[in-house]
Structure 1
Amino acid sequence: MNETLVAIENLSVRFDGRTVVDRVNLALHRGDIITIIGPNGAGKTTLIKAILGIQAATSGRIMRAKGLVIGYVPQHLHLESTLPLSVKRFMQLSGQPLARCISALERTGVSHLLEASVHHLSGGEQQRLLLARALVRKPDLLVLDEPAQGVDINGQAALYDLIRQLRDELNCGVIMISHDLHLVMAATDKVICLNQHVCCSGYPADISHDPAFIETFGRPVAESLAVYHHHHNHSHDLHGNVVGSGPSRSVTGHDESHAERQEGCQHEHH
């Protein structure tokens, strides 16, 4: 059995008497990709912060593997707009050697931006920079909060594919928050539907038909997986543009234009 990186038992977090995370149990093993989904205010980011150790639990406990190295990719890059900061300098602030920083940038496809201003990067470039910053420490666990935020749909698919490749290369665990149901349900090994408590969890193909999932998100998303599950002989750049050409075929039989019209519902749970 793969090494357990994080184990959570009956974790609860309360703010001002209000329960934000309620008796959550979770185990993440090396090699796993686990995605947390749920409506706004469901406690997803609070749970992630507890795993990172920056949010104290009200009750329950979190056990982390000895010597666990965590790489964190936040949802946004928050920097003072008047502060001049190049990609090179931003990476060097990690305290790691420049050669390792450049290697991480190369792996995420943005090493050509080494001297560029961080403030002038596109959404996709920023996310790949943040991912490179997380990789520079060679983490056992990657924690990502909405990694495809601000990235167009083709760029999202490429980014999730990169995350899977990095999982394989580093033999690390991955836990991420996402609202991109039409992509992430195909890019993950296990899904946890959170709405303060765990509504349901399991393999993507199974959970999309779970009554608790349907109650929260409105309908199964099986058809919308086509946008990620397809075979092709081209690749995409940081902005989602096609590099190379060739026929593309979805394994579900839907063409890509149909798949791109499918949107993951984000209805609030009542």
Structure 2
Amino acid sequence: MITIDRLTKRFDRRAVLDELTLAIDAGDRIALIGSNGAGKTTLFRCLLGHYGHQGSISFAGQSGRRRAPEQLARVAFVPQLPPPLRMPVGELIGFAVNGAGADREAMTEIAHRLGIDLDEVRTRPFYRLSGGQKQKLLVTIALGRAVDLMIFDEPAANLDPAARAVFVDLLAERREASMLIASHRLEEVAPLVNRVIELDRGRVVLDDSMVDRLQAGELRTAHIVLSQPHAPFAAALTAWGFTVDPAGLRFSGAVPAAETFRFLGLLARYGSLIEQLSLDERLSEKV
């Protein structure tokens, strides 16, 4: 579906993406993780043709510096920061229907499930909505379109807990579309995805698919080093059967391969404390 070859993007001579190479297949539902500044948003912007870059990006065999209109018509994008649009919500909805092929009835239903009444906010300028309302509206428009690829950049950041749960349910219902989801809440999107990709300093440092890892008894060994002791983290890892050194800094254990995404979701909550992490493969006897 998408082939990325040695993609490089620099800002002020700093490589935000550094010869990144990646293939995204039709049907992939990918959780994209990494610290702030790892290159996630820049990757999305390059995919959408917003940024010039070195290296190549090919959509279904078609490459070029700019995305063809027919390519973009099959992609839905929800940015991390809503754009400062001054148009009324009703006009934005009309543009989504007439210009982007969104289904008005589907959007009304999706918005209702997310907790926003389109009729109530129809005359209000988009930029005057609350952060949560803006995010709900952008998600509504994206999910109201029939597309091949959905790109979400921290889509649930401004959503309340109830709306986040509905959002995950809505994504689970869209089995026909490929997805790229950048999220700090890996535990929320883990059940939706078949692949986790981690970026660090503009390069892929983890690309893990569960498709071939569901054999009973397959384990992955994990070693973690913290910058400082943290009792809640120690309790969480102990519950997974990990051992910890007397200083409370080094943890070792084994994770069932089928539980890898859930385990990474747990670690994501404590990302600021983790100094070193290794997750290696090993086969064990069936249990």
The TM-score normalised by the length of structure 1 is 0.67
* Secondary structure of 1:93's aligned partner: helix
Structure 2 match to 1:44: 40
Query: Of residues 192, 200, 205 in structure 1, which corresponds to 2:206?
Result: 200
| 2:110/2:144 contact within 8 Å kept | no
- Distance apart, 1:98 and its partner CA: 11
Deviations along 1:150-169, one digit per CA (max 9) or x if unpaired, are 12334323212211212x2x
- Distance apart, 1:181 and its partner CA: 2.2
> How far apart in 2 are the matches of 1:38 and 1:98?
31
Alignment of 1:78-117 (within 5 A): 78-79=83-84, 83=86, 85-94=87-96, 96=98, 100-110=102-112, 112-116=117-121, 117=124
> How far apart in 1 are the matches of 2:196 and 2:189?
9
The TM-score normalised by the length of structure 2 is 0.64
* Secondary structure of 2:117's aligned partner: helix
Structure 2 match to 1:228: none
Aligned-residue sequence identity (percent) comes to: 30
Normalized per residue, the structure richer in strand is 2
Equivalent position amino acid for 1:104 in 2: A
Structure 1 match to 2:192: 187
- Distance apart, 1:124 and its partner CA: 4.4
Structure 2, unpaired ranges of 5+: 63-69, 214-218, 238-258, 260-265, 277-287
Decide whether aligned partners of structure 1 residues 17 and 142 sit closer, same or farther in structure 2, where only a CA change above 3 A counts.
same
Structure 1, unpaired ranges of 5+: 224-251, 253-260
Equivalent position amino acid for 2:89 in 1: V
| 2:97/2:103 contact within 8 Å kept | no
Deviations along 1:96-155, one digit per CA (max 9) or x if unpaired, are 179955223134233732341345655444323112322454221111111101123343
Structure 1 match to 2:241: none
Query: Of residues 74, 77, 81 in structure 1, which corresponds to 2:82?
Result: 77
Deviations along 1:235-262, one digit per CA (max 9) or x if unpaired, are xxxxxxxxxxxxxxxxx9xxxxxxxx99
- Distance apart, 1:266 and its partner CA: 3.1
Higher alpha-carbon Rg: 2
Decide whether aligned partners of structure 1 residues 142 and 217 sit closer, same or farther in structure 2, where only a CA change above 3 A counts.
farther
Structure 2 match to 1:176: 181
Decide whether aligned partners of structure 1 residues 262 and 48 sit closer, same or farther in structure 2, where only a CA change above 3 A counts.
closer
- Structure 1 segments, 4+ long, off by >4 Å, are 97-101, 119-124, 208-212, 214-220
> How far apart in 2 are the matches of 1:155 and 1:45?
23
Structure 2 match to 1:243: none
How many residues are aligned here?
Answer: 220
Equivalent position amino acid for 1:157 in 2: A
- Aligned-residue CA RMSD in angstroms? 3.7
Decide whether aligned partners of structure 1 residues 99 and 200 sit closer, same or farther in structure 2, where only a CA change above 3 A counts.
closer
> How far apart in 1 are the matches of 2:138 and 2:146?
14
